[in-house]
Amino acid sequence: MIRFEGVTKKYGDGSGGESIAVNDLSLEAPTGRITVLVGPSGCGKTTTLRMVNRMIDPSSGVISIDGNDTAELPLAELRRGIGYVIQHAGLFPHRTVLDNVTTVPRLLGTDKKTARRRAMELIERVGLDPDLAKRYPAQLSGGQQQRVGVARALAADPPVMLMDEPFSAVDPVVREQLQNEFLRLQSELGKTILFVTHDIDEAVKLGDQVAVLRVGGTLAQLATPAQLLADPVDDFVAGFVGRDRGYRSLQFAEAPELELTNEPTVTIGTTASSVRAIGEPWVLCVGDDGEPMGWVRAAAVTSAVARDLLQRGGTVASTQGSLRELLDAALSSPSGRGVVADADGRFVGTIRASEVVPVIEARQQSVAAREDAAAAALHGEAAPA
Amino acid sequence: MTWALDHLDEIFSLAGQHAWLAGLPLLIGLVISIPLGWLATRKASLRTGLLTVTGLLYTIPSLALFILLPPLLGTKVLDPVNVIIAMSIYTIALLTRTVADGLAAVDTSTRQAAVAMGYSTFGRFRAVDLPLAIPVVAAGLRVAAVSNVSIVSVASLIGISQLGYFLTDGYARSFPTEVWVGIIACLLLALVFDLVIQLLARVLTPWTRVTA
């Protein structure tokens, strides 16, 4: 656990005045969880992060890791025990990928052979081709460099990781890949992570809890992503969390068991007459393993169903997915019927937006009821006094 | 041409002297410039002071330095050590700024990563900053090498033998061929220095030649 207690960082402005980067911050980043620090530029999020490994020393207050005051640990020992990932990866250009990854273990005195063996495992674990190990950073794409950065931070198996906008400098497609793999990795490793971003969507996606900071370095709200979207504490947080928060908050609502509609399906090569026999304007085409491939407009099939006739715009929801996935599948489907697949990706049925909405409304009522009950219980306790 | 062929032994012997008088100071100067350049990157105030002082050293006329050093050091006027020291001073004058610039040019995120990984100040300098500064330092070293080869020839005025002897002797005897041989030999020597430094830099920096 990383714990901030009344941490303040002030900078002199050179003419006797001072500016406050972080103001009386108290916060806990629980063990094995991802805590995201998010806020606009100037909110002190990076300063906060860098105070943990003492790249910046706090003006006052205490930061402790698992109960040990960081100010009392030897600097090198503290830093070698904390993984650090930054925006442009910060790889050493003069060292191969492999030698970049072995840096901290080598500093800690691990012999070269052991360090290299472990580094190769990590290189594969972060999704890199082992052949890249001998390359120099300049030979890698931005996304690959960032993966090396993560592997390097993990090399000495530190319990704590600090990540400063690690995925901000890559394109959106690669960013999403990196985010998903990061979550997969974290589910296996369970590190205590402090993660800085300016992107609220990233914060909500990755964080087990999210700390919203405001300019001047004060904590505006610390909450789970779902709480943050559902109940921003003030106008600043509401504004920062942004529009669509009603829709986005559905991603934290697990879909209940819903009754799905059976759907007649076709495959590539189904003849035009069989397609028309179904009697629907849109027909779903599935692959050999029953995986949904796309919708076909029946009127467009002249001889048989072909790949170029498939409309692939619809998203596919998973039976284990969120209400957001279900609603999105329905909204994005040209037929208005959202495609749902099981955990193995096989088509199981469809659902309409009009069937999802009542579930959402029922959920809102149950949340309201729970809050009323909680408030009533609080009054009940307060009443006798 | 005939004169040159007749005097090949002498040319090679003087070229060897010249290489020694110009080359050894390059090494000495480099070894001293690296810590000086590093100090200059530590603090802005140190940087200004160090770079001004070392820069000014280069403005001292070489002849003056060759003449002033013996009484200062207690050496004999004809002792080649005077030239070695004078040339080292010029090398330091040229290289301190280059080393400081090379070290300062290391990418911020690379340096931050090194700090965050728990390198000691010296460890980071040795393992990260210095290797990354090699291309810039090598460029400065090439300039210093050519400058040294040129300045060393002045030492023939105080009677230290090297290729500059052909220039003074040829001039005194009004024999242009000898002067030309001196000039060409100096040029070739400078070229050899330049190639050796380039080659060394190349071997030491394999990462600069990779393509994505």
CB of B122 within 8 Å of any CB in chain A? no
Average pLDDT over residues B3-27: 88
Average pLDDT over residues A94-107: 95
CB of B207 within 8 Å of any CB in chain A? yes
Rg (alpha carbons) of chain A, rounded to whole number: 26
Q: Which of B93, B94, B68 is nearest to B82 (CA)?
A: B68
Give B64's pLDDT tier (boundaries 50, 70, 90): confident
Q: Which of A45, A41, A54 is nearest to A22 (CA)?
A: A45
Which domain does A310 fall in, by range?
265-358
CA-based nearest distance B28→chain A, Å: 26
Same domain, A203 and A350: no
Query: Which amino acid is it at B47?
Result: R
pLDDT at site B90: 93
On the question of pLDDT at B6 being above 90, the answer is no
Strands (E), chain A: 2-12, 18-29, 34-38, 60-65, 68-69, 82-86, 160-164, 192-197, 209-214, 218-223, 265-266, 282-286, 292-297, 316-318, 337-341, 347-352
Average pLDDT over residues A52-72: 95
Query: What is the C-alpha separation between A103 and A115, in angstroms, rounded?
Result: 9
On the question of pLDDT at A226 being above 60, the answer is yes
Same domain, A237 and A345: no
Going from the C-alpha of B80 to that of each of A183, A217, B9, B58, B165, the distances in angstroms are: 69, 65, 21, 20, 14
Same domain, A78 and A198: yes
Cβ–Cβ below 8 Å for A107 and B115:
no
Same domain, A339 and A221: no
Same domain, A248 and A269: no
Q: Give the containing element (helix H, strand E) for A149.
A: helix A142-154
Average pLDDT over residues A331-341: 91
Q: Does residue A385 sit in helix, strand or coil?
A: coil
Q: What is the ipTM of this complex?
A: 0.83
Tens digits of residue pLDDT in A348-379: 999 999 999 988 888 888 877 777 777 777 66
Q: Where are the alpha helices (DSSP H) in chain B?
A: 2-6, 8-42, 44-57, 62-73, 81-104, 108-116, 121-124, 130-152, 164-172, 176-204
Same domain, A44 and A97: yes
On the question of pLDDT at A320 being above 50, the answer is yes
In a domain, B90, yes or no: yes
CA-based nearest distance A90→chain B, Å: 4
Give A17's pLDDT tier (boundaries 50, 70, 90): confident
Cβ–Cβ below 8 Å for A107 and B119:
yes
CATH of the domain at B55: 1.10.3720.10
Q: State residue B166 phi and psi, 5-degree precision.
A: -60, -35
Q: Does residue B184 sit in helix, strand or coil?
A: helix
Give A193's pLDDT tier (boundaries 50, 70, 90): very high
Same domain, A248 and A270: no
Among A252, A284, A303, the domain boundary falls at A252
Average pLDDT over residues B170-179: 89
In a domain, A214, yes or no: yes
CA-based nearest distance A306→chain B, Å: 40
Of B116, B131, B210, the CB nearest to A55: B116
On the question of pLDDT at A106 being above 50, the answer is yes
CATH of the domain at A277: 3.10.580.10
pLDDT at site B212: 59
Give A385's pLDDT tier (boundaries 50, 70, 90): very low
Partners of B119 on chain A (C-beta within 8 Å) are 76, 107
Same domain, A35 and A139: yes
Give A380's pLDDT tier (boundaries 50, 70, 90): low
In a domain, A54, yes or no: yes
Give A115's pLDDT tier (boundaries 50, 70, 90): very high
Which domain does B67 fall in, by range?
2-203
Partners of A91 on chain B (C-beta within 8 Å) are 110, 113
Average pLDDT over residues A3-15: 89
On the question of pLDDT at A75 being above 90, the answer is yes
pLDDT at site A95: 96
Residue % of chain B over a pLDDT of 90: 52
Average pLDDT over residues A19-43: 94
Q: What's the total number of domains in chain A? A: 2
pLDDT at site B159: 79
- CB of A182 closer than 8 Å to CB of A143: no
Of A53, A76, A94, the CB nearest to B207: A94
In a domain, B87, yes or no: yes
In a domain, B13, yes or no: yes
- Interface probe for A, chosen from B136, B207, B208 (most Cβ of A below 10 Å), is B207
Q: What's the total number of domains in chain B? A: 1
If you average pLDDT over every residue of chain A, what do you get? 90
| Nearest-Cα residue of chain A relative to residue B135 | A94
Query: Which amino acid is it at B2?
Result: T
Same domain, A97 and A125: yes
Q: Show which of residues 124-153 on chain B sit within 8 Å of chain A, judged by CB atoms.
A: 128, 131-132
Same domain, A234 and A331: no
Q: Does residue A158 sit in helix, strand or coil?
A: coil
Among A200, A230, A252, the domain boundary falls at A252
| Nearest-Cα residue of chain B relative to residue A101 | B117
Query: What is the C-alpha separation between A177 and A165, in angstroms, rounded?
Result: 15
pLDDT at site B131: 95
More confident residue, B77 or A207: A207
- CB of A151 closer than 8 Å to CB of A119: yes
pLDDT at site A322: 86
Q: Is the dihedral of CA B198, B204, B207, B211 positive or negative?
A: positive
| Nearest-Cα residue of chain B relative to residue A74 | B118
Estimate the crossing angle of helix B164-172 against helix B8-42, to 10 degrees: 130
Give A381's pLDDT tier (boundaries 50, 70, 90): low
CATH of the domain at A64: 3.40.50.300
Going from the C-alpha of A165 to that of each of A74, A87, A304, the distances in angstroms are: 27, 5, 50
Same domain, A130 and A197: yes
Q: Does residue A350 sit in helix, strand or coil?
A: strand
Same domain, A50 and A186: yes
In a domain, A322, yes or no: yes
Give A383's pLDDT tier (boundaries 50, 70, 90): very low
Among A252, A285, A305, the domain boundary falls at A252
In a domain, B25, yes or no: yes
